[in-house]
Amino acid sequence: MKLTMPRFDSAPVLVVGDVMLDRYWHGPTHRISPEAPVPVVKVEQIEDRPGGAGNVALNISALGAPAWLVGVTGQDEAAESLQQRLNAAGVYCDFQQCEGQPTITKLRVMSRHQQLIRLDFEERFQTDADALLASVAGLLDKVKVLVLSDYGKGALVNHQALIQLARQHGVPVLADPKGSDFSIYRGASLITPNLSEFEAVVGRCSSEQDLVDKGMALIAELQLDALLVTRSEQGMTLLRSGEPALHLPARALEVFDVTGAGDTVISTLAAALAAGETLPNAVALSNIAAGIVIGKLGTAAISAPELRRAVQREQGSERGVVGVEQLLQALEDARAHGERIVFTNGCFDIIHAGHVGYLEEARSQGDRLIVAINDDASVKRLKGPGRPINSVERRMTVLAGLGAVDWVISFADDTPEALLEQVKPDVLVKGGDYSVDQVVGAAIVQAYGGEVKVLNFVESCSTTAIVEKIRGRDQS
């Protein structure tokens, strides 16, 4: 399937559920306590991160999508920390505060990236269900997807009322379920249990087909539109009534910490659906996002540039031969990372040492180099009969194999001016005996503040000379 980055900025999502604070105490350990056989940690850093439904909302906002969060907290310092961090990340918060109850806090003591102990501060909330429903009702007209982030801590006590209310507003409902009674999610658009949660409800799955059969039965029983089972190292399985099962392999390069992976899946899924992606594409994006986040420590949000780069890697457009759409997406990511874009163009009919030296010097003008080459028809118009010697596909393949070159793209016009209008490189480079004002496209680049540079070719290297030499030998 072909994946692209959605327009997350037009994808508002509402998250309702159990808000938590994940607190980390970091420090070195150099000795064992004389009081008990436990390490002594000298705390040097305290870090607070939104957890639970807060982490889901944070992930949505990190992707660039507008995020609203409705939940329940105490009236304490932990609630203030949560609110500050979420507001700073662009998340709109509507918290129902319960006097005399602590905000759910999970304290982890860390040393050298290892968790030594976790301490939980929590009591089940006595949620005002009517007030929470009213808060949600006031926000549904502003969003395109509703997420129920259920950790079984008491914020969600009226699942059916929330689902029915969202359905009345035409808003799809995604639920990350908890517990062994999935009937409370009846009528949801999609639920996302992990394999152990799924098997706790339907029984052990002896095979992949057994999982599919039991999943389809659950969809029918609960009147769901779809079911997504996350299966750890086995990836994900998407089930829909009347459609074949979609199995996606795990994408993690290295598993460091699975904390919060489920939050990343449902947040990416929700934002992608809100942006208009099809369900299979949204699931594929969430699968890639999960592969990124489990390479991080603790609950962590992934950014849009991180996801975009992973999508490009998945689609083979991180480097190499690309089309216009792939190139523009790759450039958006490169610029998000502060990279300087260099552009050069030519026929590059027979790649020789002069070209290699020139392209290496061109690349040194920035961080990424685009080489645009004339297609076969335009080379023939420019160079005459018998050219090109090599087809555009072969020329692009050779260029893509050079270490100095990031992306290779072809164009059909005699000049690259139309492509320059789209790409808008930071530097336009041309080789040869030109003045800057003679470089084709210079005015376009200079108009938006870009630079134009002329580089010298390596002496005694010329495609035309090589062609003439070969033809001379053939005639002798």
Catalytic residue annotation: 263
CA atoms within 13 A on the CB side of 20: 27
Strand 91-98 with 173-176, pairing:
unpaired
- Give Cα 78 distance to the centre of its chain: 29
Residue identified by tokens 């920035």 is: 366
Q: What is the DSSP string of 371-432?
A: EEEE-HHHHHHHH-TT--SS-HHHHHHHHHTSTT-SEEEEESSSSSHHHHHHH--SEEEEES
- Give Cα 293 distance to the centre of its chain: 10
SS3 state at 278: coil
Q: What angle do CA 345, 348, 353 make, to 5 degrees?
A: 110
SS3 state at 73: strand
Query: Would you state the structure tokens that stand for residue 448, as one six-digit string?
Result: 């938006």
Alpha carbons 396 and 391: distance in angstroms, whole number:
9
Any idea what DSSP says for residue 68?
E
**Alpha-carbon radius of gyration of the chain:** 28
Sign of CA pseudo-dihedral 264, 267, 269, 275: negative
Cα–Cα distance list, 382 to 47, 168, 379, 394, 453 (Å): 62, 63, 5, 19, 23
Residue identified by tokens 């009919």 is: 349
Alpha carbons 451 and 465: distance in angstroms, whole number:
31
Q: Tell me if 61 sits within 8 A of 143, measured CB to CB.
A: no
SS3 state at 144: coil
Cα–Cα distance list, 407 to 311, 394, 403 (Å): 16, 15, 11
Query: Would you state the structure tokens that stand for residue 435, as one six-digit string?
Result: 């003045």
Alpha carbons 262 and 337: distance in angstroms, whole number:
27
Strand 29-32 with 39-41, pairing:
antiparallel
Query: Would you state the structure tokens that stand for residue 24, as one six-digit string?
Result: 């980390």
